[in-house]
């Protein structure tokens, strides 16, 4: 990793499109997420400590744990960063001078191209697999522990929960529609290992996915999604989530044409990095909790 954990946390933004989008999704997880940034500030928030010497000791221990490659924390950070894709540069340039609460979308439609449903399905399921593998890495358990991951979803809160809410809303409902779960299951079942290998995210993170070859990795991706579909369906049902409602909430900060949901999805995918942002917060929290327990 090119940057230490304290620098990654210190550099988390306090405003911009990603933050606005996550705040807009509060309706689906009321009061769960606060945008806690800054390494020392995060230590104080997580531990409740005010003693400067103890805060420093916890911070040093957290940095030590992160730097220990055998612990898997750096691999988790890499996964959170990787699944946000490689197409952020265009969005960053387009939004460079428009990072306030309202970001006009229509002017950028000629700069984005909606992904076909198959590609969107692969990206959605790969993000879910990245979440599972990162969860296992952070908790020191085998990377194929689907059962442990599914059981943990019921305990998800804060930045981890809002990340999964965003996954369902922004990578599921908006691009694929209200039946995104069945579409994803069907899409994965109709995907060949050769098609999977052409996906840029898969080609980058494939070594982290359990399985000996592309075929077995594809099976693992399908098994992971199938195991989590119940949790996602419960979220959608309990919150009454649908593309129109999500779009309405997003329109609080983005001017969106409601007949161009595929472009909305492409735009948000290009211009936000919610997985990396909340993933950094999750990782920092877990490191600090462990460091505090060990001090």
Could you report the per-residue pLDDT of 196-206, keeping only the tens digit for each?
999 888 999 99
- Classify residue 31 as left (phi > 0), alpha (psi -120 to 50) or beta: left
The set of residues, in sequence order, having a beta carbon less than 8 Å from that of 167 and lying 6+ positions away, is 124, 127, 128, 131, 275
**Mean pLDDT, residues 263-279:** 88
Residue 180 has what pLDDT? Answer: 97
Residue 101 has what pLDDT? Answer: 44
Go through 139-164 and write b for each residue having 16 or more CB atoms within 10 A of its CB, e for each that does not.
eeeebbbbeebeeebeebebbbbbbb
The set of residues, in sequence order, having a beta carbon less than 8 Å from that of 251 and lying 6+ positions away, is 258
pLDDT at 138 over 60: yes
- More confidently predicted of 125 and 115: 125
Selection from 96-105, 195-204, 231-240 with the highest mean pLDDT: 231-240
Name the burial class of residue 274, with classes exposed (0-12), middle (13-18) and buried (19+) by CB atoms within 10 angstroms of its CB.
buried
- More confidently predicted of 88 and 203: 203
Could you report the per-residue pLDDT of 150-178, keeping only the tens digit for each?
999 999 999 999 999 999 999 999 999 99
pLDDT mean across residues, the chain: 89
183 to 45, 124, 173, 191: CA distances (angstroms) = 40, 11, 11, 12
**Mean pLDDT, residues 90-103:** 47
Residue 99 has what pLDDT? Answer: 45
Structure tokens belonging to residue 159: 């930045």
Strand partners, 253: none
Q: How confident is the model at residue 100 (pLDDT cuts 50, 70, 90)?
A: very low
Q: How confident is the model at residue 110 (pLDDT cuts 50, 70, 90)?
A: low
Could you report the per-residue pLDDT of 216-232, keeping only the tens digit for each?
999 999 999 999 999 99
Structure tokens belonging to residue 269: 């995918």
Q: Show the 3-state SS of the chain.
A: CCCCHHHHHHCCCCCCHHHHHHHHHHHHCCCCCCCCCCHHHHHHHHHCCCCHHHHHHHHHHHHHHHHCHHHCHHHHHHHHHHCCCCCHHHHHHHHCCCCCCCEECHHHHHHCCCCCHHHHHHHHHHHHHHHHHHHHHHHCCCCCCHHHHHHHHCCCCHHHHHHHHHHHHHHHHHHHCCCHHHHHHHHHHCCCHHHHHCCHHHHHHHHHCCCCCHHHHHHHHHHHHHHHHHHHHHHHHHHCCCHHHHHHHHCCCEECCCCCHHHHHHHHHHHCCHHHHHHHHHHHHHHHHHHHHHC
User: Is residue 167 within 8 Å of residue 124, measured between CB atoms?
Assistant: yes
Residue 170 has what pLDDT? Answer: 94
State the total domains in the chain.
1
pTM above 0.85, yes or no: yes
- Give residue 241's domain range: 5-294
User: Is residue 75 within 8 Å of residue 137, measured between CB atoms?
Assistant: yes
The set of residues, in sequence order, having a beta carbon less than 8 Å from that of 157 and lying 6+ positions away, is 32
């Amino acid at each position: 990793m090119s940057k230490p954990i304290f620098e990654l946390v210190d550099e988390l933004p306090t405003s911009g499109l990603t933050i606005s989008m996550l705040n807009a999704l509060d309706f689906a997880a009321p009061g769960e997420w606060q945008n806690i940034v800054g390494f020392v500030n995060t230590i104080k928030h997580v531990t409740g400590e005010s003693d400067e010497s103890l805060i420093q000791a916890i911070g040093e221990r957290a940095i030590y744990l992160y730097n220990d490659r055998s612990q898997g924390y750096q691999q988790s950070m890499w996964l959170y960063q990787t699944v946000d894709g490689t197409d952020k540069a265009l969005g960053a340039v387009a939004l460079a001078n428009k990072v306030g609460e309202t970001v006009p979308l229509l002017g950028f439609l000629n700069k984005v191209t909606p992904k076909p449903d198959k590609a969107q399905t692969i990206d959605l399921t790969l993000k879910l697999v990245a979440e599972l593998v990162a969860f296992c890495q952070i908790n020191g358990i085998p990377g194929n522990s689907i059962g442990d991951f599914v059981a943990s979803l019921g305990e998800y809160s804060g930045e981890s929960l809002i990340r999964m809410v965003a996954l369902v809303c922004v990578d599921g409902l908006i691009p694929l529609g209200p039946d995104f779960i069945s579409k994803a299951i069907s899409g994965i079942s109709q995907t060949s290992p050769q098609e999977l290998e052409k996906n840029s995210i898969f080609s980058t993170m494939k070594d982290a996915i359990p399985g000996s070859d592309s075929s077995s990795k594809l099976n693992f991706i399908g098994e992971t999604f199938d195991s989590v579909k119940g949790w996602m369906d419960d979220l959608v049902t309990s919150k009454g989530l649908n593309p129109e409602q999500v779009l309405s909430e997003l329109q609080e900060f983005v001017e969106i044409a409601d007949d161009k949901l595929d472009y909305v999805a492409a735009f948000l995918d290009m211009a936000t990095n919610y997985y990396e942002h909340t993933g950094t917060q999750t990782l920092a929290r877990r490191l600090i909790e462990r460091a505090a327990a060990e001090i």
